């Protein structure tokens, strides 16, 4: 069993999309792949009569061609406002919790145990787990409570790729800053950088890639262009949830978009180097 983790320099960097693309790429290569996100905060859910997980992990499962199960997203937080969230554990409603209690009493006890159990279950049943981080691994005010990034990467023995949204600007600084703020014991897990949502001539970036490697000793493995996809929207501050009917017709549409995404990503990042990390 092998593991790869996608972390981001910020929310919205493209972690969810890149995980979906890599799930499809490695599924096409013959791997039995599963996505995994230990903790997701989202009002966009995939709901069945038996369980409820984040919609993002359900779409990643479609990309991986694996069954959609609660282990793909063992902790789901549905924001309620005023620092409260409804917490779901392994697909089942657990309890309403204030952020103070969630971080202070839950994450490093029941939370991390739940995440590790689900990860272990997936590791037994798949060749490759592609993990998605949450937010940024460099939130230094929350690092001791962070069970969605480096702690889970270490547990999974995963190589980490760090993705940044270059369309926002400041990507080089955000990558260097992230590397500086990650705890030293975790820095060696980061094996490559990905720039996302690029518009323009790639040659303009290459001198920056060289300097970035000199500073961090970590290579850039690719630059994904800005692309338009007709995939269900991932949760964000400005998004308004819309229900999806999980019909065969809609799943086929999602599947076709995932093929388009995977083709674009495969032609713009160094898949061979990533595969070597997994050996």
pLDDT for residue 237: 45
Q: Go through the domains of the chain in sequence order and give each one's CATH number.
A: 2-277 (3.40.50.300)
pLDDT for residue 241: 56
pLDDT for residue 245: 83
pLDDT for residue 244: 81
pLDDT for residue 157: 97
pLDDT for residue 61: 98
* Positions in the chain short of pLDDT 50: 236-237
pLDDT for residue 228: 85
pLDDT for residue 229: 83
pLDDT for residue 240: 60
pLDDT for residue 239: 56
pLDDT for residue 1: 80
pLDDT for residue 279: 84
Q: Which two tokens stand for residue 232?
A: 């269900």
């Amino acid at each position: 069993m092998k593991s790869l983790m996608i972390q981001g320099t910020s929310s919205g960097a493209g972690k969810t999309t890149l995980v979906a693309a890599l799930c499809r790429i490695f599924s096409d290569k013959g791997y039995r792949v599963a996505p995994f996100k230990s903790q997701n905060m989202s009002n966009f859910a995939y709901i069945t009569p038996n369980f409820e997980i984040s919609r993002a992990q359900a779409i990643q499962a479609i990309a991986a061609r694996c069954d959609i199960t609660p282990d793909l997203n063992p902790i789901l937080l549905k924001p309620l406002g005023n620092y409260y969230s409804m917490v779901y554990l392994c697909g089942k409603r657990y309890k309403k919790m204030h952020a103070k209690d969630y971080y202070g009493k839950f994450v490093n006890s029941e939370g991390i145990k739940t995440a590790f159990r689900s990860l272990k279950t997936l590791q037994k049943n798949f060749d490759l787990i592609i993990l998605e981080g949450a937010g940024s691994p460099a939130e230094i005010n929350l690092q001791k409570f962070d069970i969605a990034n480096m702690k889970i990467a270490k547990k999974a023995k995963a190589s980490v790729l760090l993705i940044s949204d270059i369309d926002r600007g400041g990507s080089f600084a955000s990558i260097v800053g992230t590397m500086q703020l990650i705890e030293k014991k975790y820095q060696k897990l980061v094996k490559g950088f990905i720039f996302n949502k690029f518009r323009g001539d790639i040659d303009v970036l290459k001198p920056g890639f060289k300097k970035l490697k000199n500073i961090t000793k970590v290579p850039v493995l690719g630059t994904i262009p800005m692309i338009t996809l007709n995939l269900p929207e991932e949760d964000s501050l400005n998004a308004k949830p819309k229900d999806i009917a999980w019909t065969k017709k809609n799943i086929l549409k999602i599947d076709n978009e995932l093929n388009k995404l995977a083709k674009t990503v495969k032609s713009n990042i160094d898949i061979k180097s990533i595969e070597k990390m997994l050996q």
